[in-house]
Amino acid sequence: MANISEIRVAILGFGTVGSAVAHVLQAQRFPGIRLTHIYNRGVARKRLSDRAAGLSADLVWTENVDEVLQGDVDLIVETIGGLDPMEEWLQLALRSGKHVVTANKQLIAYRAAHLLQLAREHNRALVYNAAVAGGVPVIPATLHGLQGDRITRLSGILNGTCNFMLSHMEQGAEYADVLMQAQVAGYAEADPTADVDGFDARAKLCILARAAMQVGINPDDVPAQSIRTVAAVDFQYARELGCTVRQIARAELQGDTLHARVGPMLVPKSSPIAWSHGTENMVVTTGDFGGDVVFSGHGAGGNPTAVAIVSDLLAVAHGSSSVALPVRDCAVTGEFQAPHYLRFLVRDKPGIVSAISGALTAVGANIDSILQRPGYPKDALPFVVTTEPCLTSTVAAAVEQIAKMPTMLEPPLCLQMLTDDTRG
Amino acid sequence: MANISEIRVAILGFGTVGSAVAHVLQAQRFPGIRLTHIYNRGVARKRLSDRAAGLSADLVWTENVDEVLQGDVDLIVETIGGLDPMEEWLQLALRSGKHVVTANKQLIAYRAAHLLQLAREHNRALVYNAAVAGGVPVIPATLHGLQGDRITRLSGILNGTCNFMLSHMEQGAEYADVLMQAQVAGYAEADPTADVDGFDARAKLCILARAAMQVGINPDDVPAQSIRTVAAVDFQYARELGCTVRQIARAELQGDTLHARVGPMLVPKSSPIAWSHGTENMVVTTGDFGGDVVFSGHGAGGNPTAVAIVSDLLAVAHGSSSVALPVRDCAVTGEFQAPHYLRFLVRDKPGIVSAISGALTAVGANIDSILQRPGYPKDALPFVVTTEPCLTSTVAAAVEQIAKMPTMLEPPLCLQMLTDDTRG
């Protein structure tokens, strides 16, 4: 353990992750690492909570953030999240000569370039491997083990909440029920928007693309489709197609354009991406030289995220954290060439199939299969059409026309289908 | 890309891996990295080979190793393998102030401590992430992303040749046939000993244990069981048990003792370890805090291994390669508490089952199931007994007694069974 002088560590936020970091540091007793400060609002209450039990009596507990950001510490661990006021706080910390380790995916997804520049100017480390996939070390693996490759494709399950919900829907439950289950289990927030509408996974995809493909993109440019419109019947149809449904984040680099999208997609059961159960995360990287590499594990939760944070902290202490990437800005499109799954809910009348196939033919999309499971009422009949590979925008144009048909009881559900070839 | 001065690189060995490194470097044009020398015996022939096509005309091709080891280069990539003369050569390179990147698993497994010490004395880097699992960056991930955890268990498929052979035997082929297939496909050597008898996987397990658990062990202390005695019938019985058979390398740290073993084992089909097809590699790490993390991908072959080597080379160039581990020496035992699979080939006579169960009872091992598939001749009848969890040495003592029974046509096959709990 050469070259380690003592590093004084402060934790911002004493919630699930922050308290886990404190306990991992205490349990592991890494030489040269000393937890000195914990910041939280209403800190007196936190200090008396069960989570504080067993921590060293020497700790300074404070609700004065300046005591931490500009005080006698060397490294700040940020576990609070969000853009505001965290951006300002971490800027202040870097300017005050502190290293920063953060799990804040929104902040890094939107502001990485600026914060890294500031860190460089002050010769401090800013490390954020915990921001993606929690305890699955996909960013360090990419930075330190796949830089020699040219990674052109990423696909992954980056939101444990959606994976929990969709893998429960696979067992037959409806969306509203699994959302409630996820909320009761503490996996989903009262307002589940960030998870189910794909904003969380999208931020992580952008961070991952930056590390693996050296592209800087604005998360707002990546289309995110909600899982709210996926129903139990979609899993039945998916099964007939040898698939299941998962929230997938995927990106593909073609020249100077990144094709990127987040949303529920059909995934072949034979694909590694279908292996993840419950809240697990999974990432598949595809490189020109090394081919596919699969990473899987616990993507969230206090202890797994704490492992990522503490590993970052040790990397900073060892001086081995600095991989300076030549990141370039990159255009983003949501277009993919892929087969698509279309599920309609209709009042059944003669001629519907012909009208739908006509709308698809009109845009140049070919039908691959038509599925209609028995046992549904004629006045609210779900049935499915899958297309041969075609562009997202092509199928969207057809869906827009189809949605206007008077027999449609709700807007058609249109999901991209991953194939074994896309390894999603 | 701060702090990169030009690094002059020499490659030792222009075989599958060495030539792939040359081509990856040429294709990627990493700033500050320049391939200058290639060493090989009979280099004139190599230089005219197909593999050399398209490489820069500036390259110095040499069969004088001193021109490389002590010449005008900054970093040596070693792709030749073996202990002798490589240990001496790399020592000379380090003493001459060269960084070393190597894929040499035997050398690192046996001599890491000594070579790392030498590298430190000369303030040079010695990096060997390519020595384990080729293009699957499990060592960088462990060093940079899991150091915050306390990893207590490793299990993996670390030898692509055995995985190719056993996953083909799963389809019904016999050992001799799949060995020939693997030899024809170029996956197995004319002398397959290092692969099939577990010495290759054992070396990799030791390197992995060093990185993940910070233990220094002698590979010779790890029991290695051959896959030569596994037969097609074992896959049929395994299937009845919900399992398949794979060559597994596993290690478990309990206090100051490492329990470690390499050999064919029964693996539940539901386990991630059964996912690997063909020559793929897979590693599952288990940590006290982060739980299980799964890594999978191409464990061998020119390009995937080149990705690992070139990534190491970039890490050295960026100065981010140095994670100094506080490695401690560790006792090793092959003992595991596990259920076992025993397959007997007998001349069927009344009383055999009772004799076998008697021998197991005598040592305190309980039978969990007895399986006898129909359709085999009575004079060469394979049948199977599985035990409840018991120690390796306990079941071995019973097997030793059973082997002496006159009805046994060959020594019983005894395989450890991984359970979902051991995540193997």
pLDDT of residue A1: 40
Give the residue with greater pLDDT, A375 vs B325: A375
Chain A environment of B128 (Cβ under 8 Å) = none
Q: Please, where are the H alpha helices in B351-423?
A: 352-363, 392-403
Chain B nearest C-alpha distance from A136 (Å)? 6
C-alpha dist (Å) from residue A277 to A416, B260, B272, B337: 21, 29, 11, 28
CA angle A108, A109, A110 (to 5 degrees): 90
**Partner residues linked to B100 by β-bridges:** B76, B126
pLDDT digits (tens, 9 = 90+) for B166-196: 999 999 999 999 999 999 988 888 999 999 9
pLDDT of residue A272: 82
Q: How far is CA B189 from the centre of its chain?
A: 16
pLDDT of residue B321: 62
CB contact under 8 A, A137 and B145: yes
Chain B environment of A313 (Cβ under 8 Å) = 148
3-state secondary structure of B262: strand
Q: Which residue of A has its CA nearest to B299?
A: A290
Whole-number average pLDDT of chain A: 93
CB contact under 8 A, B304 and A313: no
Give A2's pLDDT tier (boundaries 50, 70, 90).
Answer: very low
pLDDT of residue B349: 84
Chain A nearest C-alpha distance from B422 (Å)? 15
Give A224's pLDDT tier (boundaries 50, 70, 90).
Answer: very high
What are the backbone dihedrals phi and psi of residue B412, each rounded to the nearest 5 degrees, phi first? -60, 150
Q: What is the torsional sign of CA B20, B22, B28, B33?
A: positive
What span, in angstroms and rounded, lies between the C-alpha atoms of B369 and B391?
Answer: 17
Q: What is the ipTM of this complex?
A: 0.94
Q: Which 8-state DSSP code applies to residue B221?
A: G
pLDDT of residue B272: 82
Chain B environment of A312 (Cβ under 8 Å) = 148
Q: Do residues B280 and B157 make contact, with C-beta atoms less than 8 angstroms apart?
A: yes
Q: Quick one: tokens of A243? A: 């698939």
pLDDT digits (tens, 9 = 90+) for A144-181: 999 999 999 999 999 999 999 999 999 999 999 999 99
Interface test with A, best of B17, B24, B122, B307 (most A CBs within 10 A): B307
CB contact under 8 A, A308 and B275: no
What one-character-per-residue DSSP string does B300-312 give?
SSHHHHHHHHHHH
Chain B nearest C-alpha distance from A310 (Å)? 5
C-alpha dist (Å) from residue A186 to A22, A78, A165, A192, A346: 21, 21, 12, 11, 36
What span, in angstroms and rounded, lies between the C-alpha atoms of B390 and B369?
Answer: 14
CB contact under 8 A, A28 and B150: yes
Nearest to A150 among B28, B272, B320 (CB): B28
pLDDT of residue A424: 40
Give A186's pLDDT tier (boundaries 50, 70, 90).
Answer: confident
pLDDT of residue A332: 97
What percentage of chain A exceeds 90 in pLDDT?
A: 86
What span, in angstroms and rounded, lies between the C-alpha atoms of B21 and B24?
Answer: 5
pLDDT of residue A322: 62
Give the residue with greater pLDDT, A415 vs A271: A415
What percentage of chain B exceeds 70 in pLDDT?
A: 97
pLDDT of residue B186: 87
Closest CA to B297 of A248, A284, A137: A284
The number of C-alpha atoms within 13 Å of B362 and in the hemisphere containing its C-beta is 13
Domains of chain B: 7-127 (3.40.50.720), 138-299+328-333 (3.30.360.10), 337-416 (3.30.70.260)
Q: Which residue of A has its CA nearest to B281?
A: A293
Query: Would the pLDDT of A225 be above 60?
Result: yes
pLDDT digits (tens, 9 = 90+) for A268-304: 998 888 878 888 999 999 999 999 999 999 988 899 9
Chain B environment of A310 (Cβ under 8 Å) = 147-149
Q: Do residues B335 and B416 make contact, with C-beta atoms less than 8 angstroms apart?
A: no
Chain B environment of A2 (Cβ under 8 Å) = 120, 324
Chain A nearest C-alpha distance from B363 (Å)? 39
Q: Which residue of B has its CA nearest to A123?
A: B2
pLDDT of residue B2: 41
Interface test with B, best of A79, A138, A144 (most B CBs within 10 A): A144
CB contact under 8 A, B307 and A146: yes
Q: Do residues B244 and B350 make contact, with C-beta atoms less than 8 angstroms apart?
A: no
The number of C-alpha atoms within 13 Å of A358 and in the hemisphere containing its C-beta is 8
Chain B environment of A320 (Cβ under 8 Å) = 144, 320-323
CB contact under 8 A, A291 and B303: yes
Instruction: Number of A to B CB contacts under 8 A, please give it.
Output: 195
Whole-number average pLDDT of chain B: 93
pLDDT digits (tens, 9 = 90+) for A65-85: 999 999 999 999 999 999 999
CB contact under 8 A, A294 and B298: no
Query: Would the pLDDT of B323 be above 80?
Result: no
Burial class of residue B84, CB neighbours in 10 A (0-12, 13-18, 19+): exposed
Query: Would the pLDDT of A216 be above 50?
Result: yes
Q: Which residue of A has its CA nearest to B294?
A: A296
Burial class of residue B44, CB neighbours in 10 A (0-12, 13-18, 19+): exposed
| Annotated catalytic residue B204 | yes
Nearest to B145 among A149, A275, A308 (CB): A308
Q: What's the farthest any 2 CA atoms get from each other in chain A?
A: 78
What percentage of chain B exceeds 90 in pLDDT?
A: 86
Closest CA to A264 of A416, A388, A396, A421: A416
Interface test with B, best of A16, A19, A147, A277 (most B CBs within 10 A): A147
C-alpha dist (Å) from residue B360 to B210, B229, B357, B364: 36, 22, 5, 6
pLDDT digits (tens, 9 = 90+) for B28-78: 999 999 999 999 999 999 999 999 999 999 999 999 999 999 999 999 999
CB contact under 8 A, A146 and B321: no
Chain B environment of A275 (Cβ under 8 Å) = 272, 275
Closest CA to A303 of A24, A4, A52: A24
Closest CA to B252 of B197, B334, B144: B334
pLDDT of residue A3: 46
Nearest to B326 among A1, A120, A312 (CB): A1
CB contact under 8 A, B295 and A295: yes
Give B423's pLDDT tier (boundaries 50, 70, 90).
Answer: very low
pLDDT of residue B424: 40
pLDDT digits (tens, 9 = 90+) for B286-314: 999 999 999 999 988 899 999 999 999 99
Give A342's pLDDT tier (boundaries 50, 70, 90).
Answer: very high
